[in-house]
Structure 1
Amino acid sequence: MRQNKRALTRRTVLEAAGLAAGAAVSVPVLASAAQAEPSTRTRRVPRTRAKTFSGAAARSVESAFPVEFVGVTWTGAQRGAAIRLLDQDGKAGAWQTLKPVCAAGADGDAGDPAKSASVLVPVGGASGYELRMPDGATDVRSTAIDTVNGPTFDVTVKTDTASFRGVEYITRAGWGADESLRFKADGTENSPQTYYPAQTLTVHHTAGANGDTDPAATIRAYYYLHAITNDWGDIGYHFLIDEAGLVYEGRYTGTDGIPAHNADGKMVTAFHTSGFNSGNLGIAVLGTFESQAPTAAAGASLTRLLAALSDYHDLDPKAAVTFVNPVNGVTKDVQMISGHRDWLATDCPGTTLYGNLPDLRKAVATARSTT
C-alpha cells in the first residue's frame, strides 16, 4: 500500500503549539488585561477532502483522491462488519474486521444509541475500498477522507504554550481544525455551544490504530466524521490524548482561552455519550485498548488532565455520584470518573483501559491532592 508523507506531523504540531519535549511550563487559565497579547504565526494545513456514500454505493467505493481514512456508520449489530482496501492498481487486499465505537451522538437523538455504530479506519492512501456489513444493517454510510494530501489553508497559531491549570495542550488551530466545518451552507452554526456545570468525567478510546505516526491528521479525520458525516457540527470529545502524551483541545468553545469551558467555568456540551452529554466531560485516548494499555506517557497525561479538571470543578475523583442531565432529566448512577461503557452498551474504552479505571481514580486523587 502506498504511504503518503503527511504534511502536518507530530513535530509540526509541537512547533505550532509552542511546545518543547519535556517542557513543564504553566500559564494562567485567564490572562489579565495588563498582559500583552501573545504573538502568533501562520501555518499551512492540508484542507480535508472527503466524500460520503450511502446505501449500496457505500459498500464499494473508488475515490478520486488518495484515501487516508474511511469512516463507516450504520444502524444494527455491532459485530460482523469488515473492510478491504484497493491499492493504486485496483487490487483488493485482505478483509479486516471493523471495531466500531457506538453509543455516541447528541442528547435527544432518536433511536437506540446502542445500535448506532461508527468507526474510523486509517487506510494509508488507498484508491478505494469494499465493505461487508452485518446482516440486517441499515443506514449504511461510508466516507472517504483525506486529511493529508489536499490543498492547504492558513491557520493562525499562538507561539506561546497553551495551558489549562498547568496541563499543556494543543489548540484546535494547532492540530489544524478547519472551523468552517462547524457551519451549514447558509452560514449558521450547526451545533451552537451550550454550557452547564460539570458533574462527571468520562474516559473513552477512539478504537483506532495504535502506533499512530500523525495524530493531528487522525483528529482532523474524526472531526470531519463527527461534524459532517454524523452531522454533530463538531468533534465529539472535549479533549484527546495521543501515545506521546500530547493533549489536544476538542469541542469548540470560543476564544476565551479555556478549553472545554466558557469564561464562567461552565462546561460545553459535546457528543461523546448519547443521552448523557450535558454536564459530562469526555476525554478520548487515541488507539484501541482491548488487549493493551495506553502508553505510560498517555496514561500520565490522562491522570494530570483528570486531576486538573477535578480540581477546577471541585470533584472528588473517587466518588460515586448520580448524574442528572440538565437538558432531559435523565439520571445515571456512576463513578465520578467513569468509562463510556458505564453509560451505554459499548466496548469503549476497551477492556484493558476500563480495567485500569480504579487505579486511575486513585492516581488522580493523589495528583489532585498534591497540586
Structure 2
Amino acid sequence: MKNRTIISLAGACLMLTMGLMSLAAVPTQTSQPAQVLSEDLLWRGTDFSAGELANLQADENGLSLLAGAANGQYISPIISSPLPFNVLVPQWIAQASDEEGFQPGGSVELFIRTSSVSGSWEPWQQVYFNADWTLPDDTDDVGQMVVVPDMAVHELVQFSVNLYRGYDGASPRLEQFELTLLDSTQGPTAAEMEREAGIPAAPDLYPKPSVVPRSSWCTNPDCNYTGVSYEPVTHLLVHHTVTSNSATNWAAIVRAIWSFHTYDRGWGDIGYNYLIDPNGVIYEGHLGGDDVIGTHASGANAGSMGVALMGTFTRPDENPPGIVPPAAMQNSLVDILAWKADQKGIDVFSASGMPNLNWGILNLAGHRDVYGTTTCPGEQAHDLIPSIRARVAQAINWQPTHTYIDELSPAFSKSNANWHVGPYQCGYDVHSWFTYSVTDPGQSTNWAEWRPTIEAPGWYEVEVFAPYCNTGEPDTTQANYRVHHANGDSTVVVNQRNNLGLWVSLGSFQFNAGTSGYIYLSDLTQSDSGSGVWFDAIRLNYIAPNVNNTAPAANSWELDRTIDFSWDVTNPSAVASTKLEVSTNNAFNNIIYQKSWSGAVASHQHTFAQDYPQLFWRVTMTLTSGTTISSTMTRFGIDSVAPTSEVMQVVKMPNGDYLIRWEGSDATSGIHHYNVQYRPNGSGTWVNLLTNTTLNSQRFTPPVPGTVYWFRSQAVDNAGLTEPAHSGDGDMSTSGAPLLTPTKFLPIMAHN
C-alpha cells in the first residue's frame, strides 16, 4: 500500500505532540495488503520553516543561505513516521544538483538518523547521490538507501541539511526533500529466500508443468501460517496416498488429506510437496514453495521433494488391492521430477547423503527406500522407479557418465547357492541379493562376479553399491572385492555397513576391450562372520584422457637454459601420439621448439640457446579415436644471467652528508631490488645501508665525520638471481667527492 504525506505551508497537516512531529497520511493509491508497505513524506518551500535554521532562510523557493553567510544548517523536527519502517530512501531537488549532486555555485549536504520510540538514536548518516537510481530525465536526485540496523523497524526519523556558498558567491538552494519509508519485514528472510529461490529459471531448463496452486484448493484460514523451514532439494521421493482408486472429485481428496494431516496427525499442513491424481493433474501441497521442508519421510524430509501419487498401487492380491499408476499420472510424475532434477542438477541415477540420515539414499527413490519399513509407494508404483529414472533423464537430456551393471543383468553371474532377496524391493533397481559372511574358506559358498563389456580400452573408475535394507541383522565391514584388470588383480576391502545407500569407489583400473575384466565378491571375510554381504549394482566411469602441464610451472622463471618439461597424462593407453610445442607468444605462431612422439609421453628435456623473457608451452595428444586434446598453455621465462649494478655517484652535501646513487641492469627478467653496503676505508667489514630496496639513491650520514667510506651495490633480478658481491674496496668512496652547491648541477663522478 502506497501513501504520500505532504508537509503543507499552513501547517494544517503538522501536529506537534510531546515534541514529536506527527504526520497525517493522505492516501493516493489503495490496493490489497502487500508484503511491502510504503509511505512518502514531502517537504517543499516554507515547510522547512518548522525546524532549527542557522544562517538559513525558508521561503517559497525552499532553503537558502542568508545574505553574507558562507554556510548554514537546517535540522528538522523529530518526525513520527506514519508506519514503522526498516528502510528509507531520500530524494531531493536542489539548485546545486548536477550528476554528482553539486556544482561550483554551491553545495548541499544531507544527513539522516533514525530511532525507535523506546530506543536510542542511530548516529547521523550522510546521504550520497545514487546515480543508479536516478534517470537522466528525472527532475529530482535519489540518494542511497538507508537501512535500519539488524532489519528491525524504527518509528522516528530526523534529517539535517548543510548548505555551503560557492566560490563564486552563489547560494545553493534545497527546493524539495522527500523521504520514502518502507516496511519490508513481512515475508521470508534473505537466507530463506536464497534457499527458496533455488537455481534461477532459464530458457534451456525443463519447464515446470502446470500445477494447481495451493490457494485454489486450500481455502481454510489455517492454510496460511508462518514458521516453515527450508533445505535445498537433493532427492526426489515418490509416495502413494493409499486412498481410493475410484474417486472422481480429486480436489476433495486433496482437501481431505490436508485436514487429516493438519489436525488428526498434528503436522500443521499436508505433508507432501506435490500430489498427482490419476488424470495427471498436479496439486501444490505443503506451504512454502521451492525447497520447503514437508512432512512425508521423517529423517528424509529435509532435502527432499515428496510427490504423492493419489491412490493405492500395491499388488492386486494385497490388502488393499492396488492398480498400476495410470499413464497420465506417470507422465505428470516424470514432468514434475524432470523439472526439479533439471532445476537442481540432480543425477537421478546416483545416490547421496541427506542432512538427517546416517546412510545414503538414491537421488530418485520410493518412500520405502528411505527406511525399508513401509511398502509405500506400493509395489506396482515402486516397480516403475527404474523406468521413471530413465524417462526423467531422457526428458532433461541427462547423459549418465557411468555404465551400470545390475545384479539381474546378463553381465552378472553368481554361484549356485542359497541367496536372499533384499526385503521391500530394496536395491538399486528395486532388487538386490545378499548372503551372510563366513570366515572359514571351507564354508564359503556364495560368490558372484560382474563382467562388463568394455567398448574402449583404457582406465575406468569402478564403484559398487550396497543398499540400505532393513534385515534386522548387521552388515559386513569387510566386503572383499577383487578387480581383475589389464595389469592383474587388485583386492579392495569395503565397509558396507558404513556406506549403505552410497556408491563406493574401488579405485581406477586399466581394462582391455571386451569382457576379460571383471569384479568379484564372495561371502568370505576376515573376521565378521554372520554379517550381511550385499551383491547389488556396480558402475564404471570411463576416465577420459587428459593432459595437464606440471613443470615449468605457470609464470615461473627458470634459472638454467636446460629445461625439464613434465606433464600429467590420464588414461595414457588411449593416446596415439604426443607433441610438445614451445612458442614466444600465446598464439603459438612463433614456435621455437617442438617435439613429437608416438604413444603417451610425459616428460622431455631440452636446452635452449639463449634466455627468453617469455615463453609458452603446451602438449597436444592425438587419441586412438582420432580426436585431439591439449593442455592449457603455460607461460614461463628463462633467465640464466645474473644482473649487474654499480654505485655511479657520490656527492658531498653542504652539511657533511653524502648523496649516493647507483644503477643496475638485467637483460631478461629485470631488476627486482638492490642491496647497498658501505665500510670505512681499511675495514674488511661491510655494513648494510639499504636492503631489498627499489630506490636508486640514498642520503648517507658518515658515522665518523672525516673518515673515508666505500660503497658497493648488489642487484637481484625478478628471476631470483643475485649479482655476486663486488670484491675489493667497492665501487666508489667519499674521497674526492664533489661538493653539491645550489648553483651547479650534480656532476657525474665515474669510478676509475
TM-score calculated relative to the size of structure 1? 0.48
- Structure 1 or 2: more strand by fraction: 2
The answer to which structure, 1 or 2, has the higher relative contact order (CA under 8 A, 6+ apart) is 1
- Structure 1 or 2: more helix by fraction: 1
Larger radius of gyration: 2
